[in-house]
Amino acid sequence: MQIQGYEFSISAGRLEETLGGYLLSGKTVQIGHPFGRTLYFKHGWQSWSEAGWVSLKESPKPILPPERRPQCDDPAYALSPVHGGSGLGGLEGHDGRMLFLGALRPGARIEADRLSLKGSSDHETQWFLAYGEQQQVLARYTELLANTLGIRGQPPAPRVWCSWYSYYSDISESKMLQTIAALQGLPFEVFQLDDGWQQNMGDWEPNHKFPSGMSAIALRAQSQGLTPGLWLAPFIARPSSNLFKEHPDWFLRDEQGELVLAGTNWGGYYALDVTLPAVQDWLQRLIQKVRGWGYRYLKLDFLFAAALPGQRHSGASREEAYREALRLIREAAGDDVYILACGAPILASLGLVDGLRIGPDVAPYWDNEDRRVYLHDPTGPAAYNALRTSLHRLWLKPLVHTDPDVAYFRTRYNLLTPAQRVVLQDLALVAGFKATSDPPEWLDGDEREGLKEWLEASPSILQTGPYTFKIGEREVDFSSWLEI
């Protein structure tokens, strides 16, 4: 059939016209196209996974080393010989417009080659097919997703101070109480403790560095008008944890009965089988406990682990299992708790979380070329990686608060140039999510004033092209920072 002057062959169970394109139905769909080895819009599986345009002229390269793959992108397709992504994808047409295909429920895979764009799903599902300007087709897709998955996180997003990108895991009760006091006079709304407070991954009780317990930090933050926030990774545990030692049968296993290694951080960690009733009960009690400590902002990390390939108790599909676990967490937390999902499958999180990390971690340096280029891994911490993937996920803004990670204002312990710091500050403005980890005591007078002005600013944001924006009266073009 002809769409916008181009001939496409469409294989699907059903096809009907809709505003801006077509609705297809079926477990698998295929669109034959005339564009050859063009550019492919890849949309990675979870927060850190690569999103952006890649060339079909080059074969995909597996991420190295292999043990890193589960926490970088969907490991089920780590060795795929064709380009693919999760949930949605597209091809650049001869006129620069986009042939787009997107699933309207989680659990879908999009692949592309020189002849076709193919979609496959765990279930019978609907797909949105369109040909047009990138921003327009993605905007229409978000409208359809809003109808099927729902919307949370209405603007504005909270302004967050997070401990990770300054202190990393070297946090303590005394250090955090000092930081809370130092935040006076800066218009933050959330004070969020990150990794380093817990006894172990899986053992979510305060360690010896927090002798007064976690409620003490929450109460101090509240007394200063801040919402207390806490980092958790509820779907994983280290083998040294009491949780693992006491309940080894709670963890995901492969077809051979071996434990599924979810990643290599902290010496390696395993994924819970979130379909087990005992695990579901434990998850809800964990969230209720943290709520009881006074925390109303939860950064939930490494969430992809619940959707890794493995043998599950219930037989649910991977993203069904994940979404049900997330629903139980939301139920336990209540609607008044802000949930930021990180390392999270993108489509399967929509409608259940308020904020969603949309790229890899930033870092106080621009690039990690050794990892990105030579190990074929664009998911590692680096300002460049965060910028590139986040820019290609801004289409999510109507559905959820889009978190591109923190901005930097400090020069202390920072290799970013002044211009690179401004790029991250502008990225946060266009994404609509302002956060930093800069301790006030690390800032000089000008840096503190710059942070304060940035937090207070609410400029109008207008996207004028794929990488160009008008921020207030400023024209900002991110393309010069990207390898495109």
Cα torsion 158, 163, 166, 167 to 10°: value is 180
Amino acid at 419: A
Amino acid at 49: S
The alpha carbon dihedral of 195, 200, 204, 207 has a sign of negative
Residues 6+ apart with CB under 8 A from 385: 359, 360, 367, 368, 372, 378, 379
* Active-site choice (301, 354, 377, 405): 301
Q: Are 102 and 128 in contact (CB under 8 A)?
A: yes
Active-site residue flag, 194: no
Active-site residue flag, 336: no
What are the C-alpha distances in Å from 257 to residues 252, 311, 315?
Answer: 9, 8, 15
* Active-site choice (73, 74, 273, 361): 361
What are the C-alpha distances in Å from 194 to residues 168, 183, 191, 218, 230?
Answer: 8, 17, 10, 13, 6
446 by Cβ neighbours in 10 Å (0-12 / 13-18 / 19+) ranks as exposed
Euclidean distance between CA atoms 80 and 54, whole angstroms: 15
Euclidean distance between CA atoms 386 and 362, whole angstroms: 6
**Angle, to 10 degrees, between the axis of helix 173-182 and the axis of helix 214-223?**
10
Using alpha carbons only, how large is the chain's radius of gyration in Å? Answer: 22
128 by Cβ neighbours in 10 Å (0-12 / 13-18 / 19+) ranks as buried
Tell me which residues are annotated as active site.
Answer: 301, 361
